[in-house]
Amino acid sequence: MIGRFQPDRQLTARMLVTLFLLGLLYVGFVAALLVLLKSTVLVVVIAAALLFGQYWFSDRIALYAMRGRLVTREVQPQLHGVIDRLCATADMPVPRVALADTDLPNAFATGRNADHAVVCVTTGLLRRLEPEELEGVLAHELSHVAHRDVAVITVASFLGVIAGLIVRFAFYSQMFGGRRRGDQNTFAILMAVMAVSAAVYALSFLLIRALSRYRELAADRAAALLTGRPSALASALTKLDGDIARIPSKDLRTAGAFNAFYFVPALGAGASLSRLLSTHPSLEQRLAGLAKISAELGRPA
C-alpha cells in the first residue's frame, strides 16, 4: 500500500463549482417560490427543515432505505478488519460499519463528515468478492469519506429533492383541490410553481450527475493507489457490473434512488438511457482508468 488518500485538487474544484452553481440555483428557486406563494415563513421553514434533516440524518435515511444495520466486530470480524487496516494506512477515523441483507451486490458510504461516516456493504457483495476485491471496494468507499464528496453529494442533492417534492405537491393539489374550487388564480400559481420546480430539478439533476461521474473516477484512482492493486478493483468492478445486470428489475428500481452513493449503479442490462444519465461513468471508462494506474505503478492490469 502507498499510504494515505492523496488530495484531489480537480475533485475539490469541481465540488466547489457545483456547490456554487447549485447555491445560485437555490437562491433563484427560493426567490421564485416567495414571489409565487407569497409566504416567506412557509418557504423558509420547509426549506430549512428539509436541508437540516437531509444533512444531519443522511446516514440513517440511507441505512433505513437499504435495510442496513450496524454490525460489531464480533459479528463481522473480516469486514471490520479490512476497514481498520485501510483506515490505519490512510490515517483517517474508522467509520461505523453496516451490513444490508440483500442479494444486490453493492456498497456505499454516507454521513456528513469523517467522524459521522458509515460504510455499508451488502451480503450479496460479501458472497461474491475475493478478499483483495473487497479491500479495493472498501478503499473506494473510504476515499469518498476522506475527500468529503459524500457530504457534498448529500447537500447538493437536497435542491433536487425539494424541487421534486414541490412538483408532486403542486400536481396533487391541482388534481384534487384547484379544479374543484374553480379558482383560476390558484391553478395558475400551481402551474407556475410546477414549471419552476421542474426546471430547477432538471438543472440540479445534470449538475449532480456531472460531479458524481467524476468523483467515482477519483475514488477508483484513490483506492487503487492506496491498496497498490488496481487489478483487484478492476476485477470487482467487472464482476459486480455483470451480476447486477442479472438482478430482478423490481429490486433495482427499489435501490435506484440511491445510485449516486453506490459503488456500481443499480441498472439493468438494457437501461441504455439510464446509463447515459447515470451517476457513474461507464465500466469501460473505469477499467481504462485503472489500467492506466497499473501502468503508472509498473504492474500488470
Does the annotation place 144 within a ligand binding site?
yes
Identify whether 130 is a catalytic site residue.
no
How far is 39 from 135, CA to CA, in rounded Å? 51
Written as nine digits, the cell of 150 is 459524500
How far is 193 from 191, CA to CA, in rounded Å? 5
Angle between helices 40-56 and 149-173 (to 10 degrees): 140
Whole-Å CA distances, 206 to 201, 202, 241, 279, 280: 9, 6, 23, 10, 12
Which residues does 184 contact at the CB level (< 8 Å), separation at least 6?
A: none
- Tell me the helices (H) and strands (E) count for the chain, helix number first: 13, 4
Does the annotation place 216 within a ligand binding site?
yes
Q: How many CA atoms lie within 13 A of 145 on its CB side?
A: 29
How far is 98 from 71, CA to CA, in rounded Å? 5
Q: At CA 112, angle to CA 164 and CA 262, rounded to 5?
A: 65
Catalytic entry in 74, 130, 133, 141: 141
The residues carrying an active-site annotation are 141
Annotated binding site: 140, 144, 216
